[in-house]
Chains A and B, each alone.
Chain A
Amino acid sequence: GQSLEQPSEVTAVEGAIVQINCTYQTSGFYGLSWYQQHDGGAPTFLSYNALDGLEETGRFSSFLSRSDSYGYLLLQELQMKDSASYFCAVEGGGFKTIFGAGTRLFVKA
């Protein structure tokens, strides 16, 4: 079957750095995306990796290792507004996008 595994919850303090891991098992792979969703809101795109390595976008970075079927999202200089759910997603075969169950990030003062 196809699945993505990510931690259900992560807690960190304001100003800290947090890493959210994602491992995947899919029948096809084009790339790994990350989305942020605040409570009651719509998911919004954060980052995308198609090739191995690190992609940096401001305070957010994302990493991919295709050989390990593994990626992570790194959030630096955490702010209270970063409290949200974070989803990794794989675009696999047949244009189907498979999402993980999400990691709920709690940022404490």
Chain B
Amino acid sequence: GAGVSQSPSNKVTEKGKDVELRCDPISGHTALYWYRQSLGQGLEFLIYFQGNSAPDKSGLPSDRFSAERTGGSVSTLTIQRTQQEDSAVYLCASSFSVSGLAKNIQYFGAGTRLSVL
């Protein structure tokens, strides 16, 4: 697609329910990132994918959070047994190159605003 697409744009759920957030990266981008942003705060790194593998899962806040990527494209972030502190905007980004020798420009989606009641 033309840009990074995330769905849903807004999600309201009850405490204890599971939610699934979807990210469709820019076609051809091998790297995919998930971040969490609380109101007025910076971006908290959650997880990074290179292709379908996730070399670094250390940013996931707890074992209630998991993510997968299939076919080197679409990724889903799943939050089980949601808690009120999970309320935030979840941003996905993709990039063409991996960091190191060249600038790694990350292109962000508009995010999913998650509200846990």
Report whether A98 and B45 are in contact in the complex, using a CB–CB cutoff of 8 Å.
yes
For the complex, what is the distance from the CA of A18 to the CA of B22, rounded to whole Å? 38
Partner of A100, one of B35, B42, B50, B99: B42
For the complex, what is the distance from the CA of A96 to the CA of B106, rounded to whole Å? 12
| A101 close to chain B: CB less than 8 A | yes
B interface footprint on A86-104 (CB within 8 Å = 1, 0 otherwise): 0101010011111111100
On whether A45 and B107 interact (CB within 8 A), knowing A87-B43, A99-B42, A101-B42, the answer reads yes
Total interface residues on A, CB under 8 Å, equals 23
Chain B: number of interface residues, binned into ranges:
20 to 34
Q: Which chain A residues lie closer than 8 Å to B48 at the CB level?
A: 95-97
- Interface positions of B from 28 to 54, Cβ below 8 Å from A: 31, 33, 35, 41-45, 48, 50
| A48 close to chain B: CB less than 8 A | yes
| A15 close to chain B: CB less than 8 A | no
A interface footprint on B85-107 (CB within 8 Å = 1, 0 otherwise): 00000010100001110011111
| A84 close to chain B: CB less than 8 A | no
Partner of A45, one of B33, B43, B106, B110: B106
Sort A-B residue pairs by CB-CB distance and give the 9 closest, nearest first: A91-B99, A42-B108, A48-B103, A101-B42, A99-B43, A30-B99, A45-B105, A99-B42, A43-B108
Residues of A within 8 A of B (CB): 30-31, 33, 35, 41-45, 48, 50, 87, 89, 91, 94-102
